[in-house]
A and B are shown apart, each in its own frame.
Chain A
Amino acid sequence: MAVSQTTPVAQQQGGTDSIGVQVEGVARSYRDRAGAHVPALEGVTLCVRAGETLAVVGPSGCGKTTLLELICGLQSPDTGTLACAPAALMPQRDLLLPWLSALDNAGLALRIAGCSRARARVRASSLFAEMGLQGFESARPDELSGGMRQRVAFLRTLLSGKPVLCLDEPFGALDAITRQELQSWLTGALLREPRTVVLVTHDVEEAIVLADRVLVLSPRPGRVIAEIEVDLPRPRRGTSPPAIALRERALCALAQGAEP
């Protein structure tokens, strides 16, 4: 539904091939329990080039998840326009279906698209080894570690076949060691399977390690208050001096945004 509102933008840009996501002056509010309008996003403009990884950082409650749901078409904006290639969401909780094996969870989108169970399994299993999941095909989600579950959830998002991946704090619930391991894993996975990625996180270091560009959002209602290009070779370490310098810039922007 987001695409239909915005075909003019998409046409100006020569279709959705050249841009992944175009967001123009988007505002979105929701009603709280008392029925009052709470603005979540205000005048957000951003553009993600096809194949680019964009990280969005901001304090809790600044509308990051709302932004991703807008991009995925789960919500529509109050004002402003959105033009996006079809986007798949990897939510904060992995939301693996407990009754399906890891392999069947990964291939869920294929099943929904009409593939037989056998064909979905064949296609998912061809990526299992590549993603470091071999040997876990028939494990149920509750038998997997947190890191493994996130890998399966990412693979499920990847296998949806959509050109844009929206990752909502994908490693937020993991311990620091596993998170670091999965960050380098994701770097490798995206090198092998390039996609347009919008990564939402509250971890500035994670944003610098993974993204080509980092946007900093203000506290609610979220607005873009800084944009940081990350022009560092991959794989990156969060502790390298240039990464630390960029992190400093992002943290400064966050601190300034927090001032009333």
Chain B
Amino acid sequence: MRRHLRGALPAVLFALVLLGAWELYADSSGVDPLLLPAPHAMFSQLWDNAGLLWSNFTITAREVVLGLALALIVGFAVAVAIHLSPLLRRAAYPHAVGSQAVPIAIVAAPLCFWWGFGIFPKLLVIALICFFPIVVTTVDGLASADSDQLKLLRTLDASRLQAFRFAELPAAIPAALSGARIALAVGVIGTFIAETSTPTIGPYAGLGREITSDLTALQTSRAYAATAVLFVFAVACFYSLTLIEHRLAPWAYTHKGENP
């Protein structure tokens, strides 16, 4: 634990330097705090609105985690299907690429029409935004299995399915998890898009909604406070995923030294 804390020290110091510079600029340049609030205003909003931010955070956090899980399941399944069937690869891969060009606003309305104002259409939006990096990295990972290893498995009379199970699937896990890390980075902003493009019923609609409504209500410093929460949450998710990677694919990290 102490080692981890010491590892985080440079990042914390860097944050302090940036915040200091920002504070100096905001105080001395005369910039309108409605355009760019000073860090101290952001922190006092964090303190004053802790309850509100927390309630919104729990909603957003649930969306990020579930949306990413959905993206992982769908992305992994699509990658496996594409890997096992050349026909499917030719049929589906271009559409997976093209899906990334579809603006969410185009699909948000029918999704809400089908599934209402609950969490599910938002998860679909997040998954749509996140699944692509998982597909690409997993397809490459599955194809990266050592061809000599596959040959060896054939001499041991392994079936196609067994070759997949013993060689290709494990070889793809580190790549799939790299894809998940990219997906996570995209997924937090994807959640913002999901929240702001689909309506929600209820007192709290998540940090994304909070930010947009604060901005329109000229509560800029509170929007910054909500953004700070998103920022820290994204970092925490990223490092949790790194820990999961070490647990799931320990062989891939023995000689690579420190992770980011």
Contact = CB atoms under 8 A, between A and B. Distances in A.
A and B bind: yes
A108 B170 CA distance: 14
A176 interface: no
Contacts of B166: 97, 100, 108, 111-112
Interface stretch (B28-36, B71-79, B148-156, B226-234): B148-156
A174 interface: no
The binding surface of chain B is classed by DSSP as: helix
A109 B155 CA distance: 9
Contacts of B173: 99
Contact of B148 (A88, A95, A108): A95
B154 A97 contact: no
A234 interface: no
B251 A72 contact: no
Contacts of B254: 140, 142-143
Interface of A: 72-74, 87-89, 91, 93, 95, 97-100, 108-109, 111-113, 140-143, 160
Interface residues of B, number: 22
Contacts, number: 52
B244 to A, nearest CB: 16
B66 interface: no
Contact of B151 (A74, A87, A141): A74
Contacts of B151: 74, 91
Contacts of B149: 95, 97
14 contacts: A73-B155, A74-B154, A88-B155, A88-B156, A91-B151, A93-B148, A95-B149, A99-B251, A100-B166, A108-B153, A108-B156, A140-B250, A140-B254, A160-B155
Most B-side CB within 10 Å, residue of A99, A113, A140: A99
Contact of A160 (B156, B162, B251, B255): B156
Given A108-B166, A113-B157, A89 B152 contact: yes
